[in-house]
Chain A
Amino acid sequence: MRVKMMAAALTGLLAVSALAGCGGKDDAGSGKDDGKLVLGFSQVGAESGWRTANTNSIQTAAADAGIELKFSDAQGKQEKQIEAIRSFITQKVDVIAFSPVVTSGWDSVLKDAKDAGIPVILTDRAVDSQDKSLYKTFLGSDFVKEGTEAGNWLVKQNEGKTTPVNVVELQGTVGAAPAIDRQKGFAEAIKANPNITVVKSQSGNFTRAEGKTVMEGILQSTPKIDVLYAHNDDMGLGAIEAIEAAGKKPGKDITIITVDAVKDGMTALADGKINFIVECSPLLGPQLMDLAKKVHAGETVEPRILTEETTFTQEQAKAALPDRKY
């Protein structure tokens, strides 16, 4: 009986690991012989539409730049990512790039890469290593700047007005870097106009459903709301549903500012339901390929490189929407 149960449990687990293992495996053969630059890239996973767009951008950009890409999906696990980087080192790729799952615990594997003479580029997320020589550069968005852009726009809209502006804020996941930084940047920027105050700030966990539930609660408990600032499009889209259900017009009765500029958010912006979006672009593939070529050629690059990003008003969204990829 016990043996039977063990066998059954084992079969079950095998089934799980087989399912889990089907994503993102590439062939292990080294492609050094054809003289192409080989880039090993370890992705966090496929946890969101943003991430999928990020992966697609890197894969397309590599193909366009004639770079051979060895792509590995860490499925959100640091140990898988370390394993992938070690295998890149053994395969003697030319450049390693990765989006770290977490910030700490990278020193040892990065040192191995450095000893093997392989330059490392961080994308999208940073690591907290004290030794900055372990990687060449960090390519990604500046979340504080995104918050500042959102705040600056609001300050500009209310220039010369003296009426009080009540802002409610939907924060991202508590403790996540984008949530902390977007809150910080926004708070700094709105100091320029003392009439603008954040009257309520709650976490909507970066999801639509929680954005909606939290906004329902805020609408019931806050007498006057002029502006909604959501740390990502999805929470803003959820909040729009709640605002409409309460009989108010999103974008008119309540001004809405969000961050990300994914397609659904841009559609809402073009429809006039959102007023302003600060872009957080996942399309860093082309920039990454440029950097890979530069560090491979031994050129020095800036230790911190920002993703090329912009902001969108309703008019700009209408123009940009048709060729929005994600």
Chain B
Amino acid sequence: MTILKNRLFWPVAILVALLIVNVFTSNQFITLQDGHLFGTLIDILRGSAPLILVALGMTLVISTGGIDLSVGSVMAISGAVACLLIKDLGDQNAVGSVLLIVGVAIVVSAALGLWNGSLVAVVGIQPIIATLILMVAGRGLAQLVTDGQIINVQSSPYATIATGFFLTLPVAFLIAMAAVVLISVLTRRTALGLLLESVGGSPSASRLAGIRAKRIIVMVYVVSGAFAGLAGLIYSANIKSADSIAAGNLIELDAILAVVIGGTALIGGRFSILGTVIGAILIQTLQVTVVGIGVPSKATLLFKAVVVVVLCLSQSATFREKVFGRFKIRTGVPA
């Protein structure tokens, strides 16, 4: 019974159930084609990369008791900056220049994260308000960069970020996994994770205990910004264009959902990186499943809501006790 009590049991169970549905609805669940893996499972892994990255940053921010609403706008800005610079390249297929531009876009995104972090930690604005500013203004900024148009690029190195394969696996997913491993090592193999949780638990107590809470808070927003920027690059490379209106639209809500499904409390403190990754893949699988089983568009949101509600209820110990508690007593009677 201990496995049932694990917070991640239910998300994993629902994820497996959805994947099984996909095995039946798809022609190719997983096969080898053109020298790389192909099929629904690979589509899911590839498609979930931006959400994993955004949710990863969000997990760190939430663990300090904050929230970052600006991730979607940062995605839009990062994609816009990258496509604008690549478009002006003499040779769009020059790997070195594209890598440099990718670096520039990530630095810009990290700088936007620094702005968020400074507003929260230095000026003392509530995180939801501080990041709301960039959420609203940022999308305008992205549209200013692209002049309200969709910018197309024809750069194969850039497209590789989202659609390429390395060792038969999608590059986008590998990038996301590299970020996950990096953050896991930093938070679980050093004292950083403990510091984050203590800042989330009580910033003033942490400060009195000698932890530089402000510095840690600024840092998580910078990381969140940089990861959102990377996600924005994957998003725009996937469609080989910068769509500043649609990029990352409402992704902050999906990211918060992924974090919550993964078992991180919104009030801060303890966090689970593995849980967030499972949450993000679950949300992406849900989206693919909707198309696979052909849920009518008008009912799509309802279908998603039902799955999420079932998941959240099954995660609640109180609810399980109320519903399944009776069965336990009954089976207990004969003994």
Measuring CB to CB, which residues of chain A are less than 8 angstroms from any residue of chain B? Answer: 1, 4-5, 8-9, 12-13, 15-16, 19-20, 46-49, 51-52, 171, 174, 200-203, 205-210, 212-214, 216-218, 220-221, 223, 234, 237-238, 241, 245-247, 264
Shortest distance in angstroms between A234's beta carbon and chain B's nearest beta carbon? 7
What are 19 A-B contacts with C-beta separation under 8 Å?
A5-B125, A5-B126, A8-B124, A12-B119, A15-B137, A16-B136, A19-B141, A49-B149, A51-B148, A200-B294, A202-B294, A202-B297, A207-B245, A209-B239, A217-B43, A217-B288, A217-B291, A241-B239, A247-B34
Choose from B43, B137, B238 the contact partner of A19 (Cβ within 8 Å): B137
Of the candidates B290, B291, B298, the one having the most CB atoms from chain A within 10 angstroms of its own CB is B291
Choose from B26, B163, B247 the contact partner of A220 (Cβ within 8 Å): B26
Q: Please tell me if the beta carbons of A221 and B26 are within 8 angstroms of each other in the complex.
A: yes
Given A1-B124, A241-B240, A16–B148 Cβ distance below 8 Å? no
B97 in the interface, Cβ–Cβ < 8 Å? no
B216-234: contact bitstring with A at CB < 8 Å (1 yes, 0 no)?
Answer: 0000000000000000000
Q: Please tell me if the beta carbons of A220 and B125 are within 8 angstroms of each other in the complex.
A: no
Q: Please tell me if the beta carbons of A52 and B140 are within 8 angstroms of each other in the complex.
A: no
Q: Please tell me if the beta carbons of A49 and B148 are within 8 angstroms of each other in the complex.
A: yes
Residues in B whose Cβ lies below 8 Å from that of A174: 297-298, 300
B133 in the interface, Cβ–Cβ < 8 Å? yes
Residues in B whose Cβ lies below 8 Å from that of A16: 133, 136-137
B269-298: contact bitstring with A at CB < 8 Å (1 yes, 0 no)?
Answer: 000000000000000000110111110111
Choose from B26, B150, B300 the contact partner of A49 (Cβ within 8 Å): B150
Q: Please tell me if the beta carbons of B34 and A8 are within 8 angstroms of each other in the complex.
A: no
Residues in A whose Cβ lies below 8 Å from that of B238: 209, 212, 241
B202 in the interface, Cβ–Cβ < 8 Å? no
Q: Please tell me if the beta carbons of A220 and B43 are within 8 angstroms of each other in the complex.
A: yes
Which chain A residue lies CB-closest to B50? Answer: A209
Which chain B residue lies CB-closest to A200? Answer: B294
Q: Please tell me if the beta carbons of B297 and A12 are within 8 angstroms of each other in the complex.
A: no
Q: Please tell me if the beta carbons of A201 and B297 are within 8 angstroms of each other in the complex.
A: yes
B39 in the interface, Cβ–Cβ < 8 Å? yes
Given A1-B124, A217-B291, A238-B239, A8–B39 Cβ distance below 8 Å? no
Residues in A whose Cβ lies below 8 Å from that of B300: 174, 203
A203 to B304, CA, bound (A): 14
Q: Please tell me if the beta carbons of A245 and B27 are within 8 angstroms of each other in the complex.
A: no
